[in-house]
Structure 1
Amino acid sequence: MTDIQSITFFIDRCLGNKCIVETLRKVGVNVEIHDAHFGQGAQDVDWLPEVGKRGWVVLTKDSSIGKNMLERMAVTRAEIKMFAFASQSISGKEMADILLKKLH
């Protein structure tokens, strides 16, 4: 079993930088935020390989990553571990609650 503190989660821009970030950090989870490392206009195909090199686990609700062939290839080539929320209407609080349940 992996120690949760040994994992760094990368919060994709579409998830914001408040609710999920604060919730995960409160329980000791390492979190990196998209805008702290990449420009707001950074394309997924550009930042995905860098996140993969760093070994971070991507959290997103960006459905285009799963549909766009170039983005899927970037995920595969970078051997990225990723959790993607399928619902676009789920709130930040709901996502944070789901993550906390699954992390423990």
Structure 2
Amino acid sequence: MSKHHKFKHTYFIDRTLGKSVAKALQNLGVKVELHKNHFPSNSPDIEWLPIVSKKGWVVLTKDTNIGRNILEIKAMAYFKAKVFTLVSADLNNAKMIEIFEQTIEKIDNFATTNTAPFIAKIYKNSTIKLWKNHTKLNKNLKQK
């Protein structure tokens, strides 16, 4: 038996987190996809969110505005996005890596047991809280 937890999901590391977080997660046996390997660095969230979500990848970001733009929210709802955002933007790389290393199993389980679409927040103390659940996000699809 390998010492690695078998992760069920592929994680899309957006440009706000970057290579060092991706590398740390890869070292734990997590499948990661980097923003820069798929999209131009300046591509707006509204462009990559649908593509990434359609592939079933789980989004990891520290962009706390990701759930505030109505077009993004509609795209997340429509394409059944699973988004985790690290809320403490003032953290250095080492601290961010540490938080993701401590929470990735929880994130993986959360992504498996919660109905998409959703946005969850990851806190400094390694807790994860659902921020916008599928009911809340899907409501936006009905709005004109």
Tell me if both proteins adopt one fold, taking TM over 0.5 as the criterion.
Answer: yes
The structure whose residues are more often helix, as a share, is 1
Match of 2:36 in 1: 35
Q: How does 1:44-83 map to 2 (within 5 A)?
A: 44-83=45-84
Match of 1:14 in 2: 16
The match for 1:3 among 3, 6, 30 is: 6
Q: How does 1:86-97 map to 2 (within 5 A)?
A: 86-97=87-98
Deviation of 1:92 after TM superposition, in Å, equals: 2.0
Write the deviation string for residues 1-52 of structure 1: whole angstroms up to 9, x where unpaired: x931x311100111122x2011111111101000100011211111000001
Q: Which runs of 5+ in 2 are unaligned?
A: 106-144
Q: Secondary structure at the match of 1:98?
A: helix
Write the deviation string for residues 52-87 of structure 1: whole angstroms up to 9, x where unpaired: 111000000112211111111111111111110112
Higher relative contact order (CA closer than 8 Å, sequence separation 6+): 1
Identity of aligned residues (%): 40
Deviation of 1:103 after TM superposition, in Å, equals: 2.5
TM-score (norm 2): 0.65
Q: Which has the larger radius of gyration?
A: 2
Distance in 2 of aligned mates of 1:71 and 1:28: 30
How many aligned residue pairs are there? 101
Distance in 2 of aligned mates of 1:69 and 1:16: 25
Moved runs in structure 1, 4+ residues, more than 2 A?
Answer: none
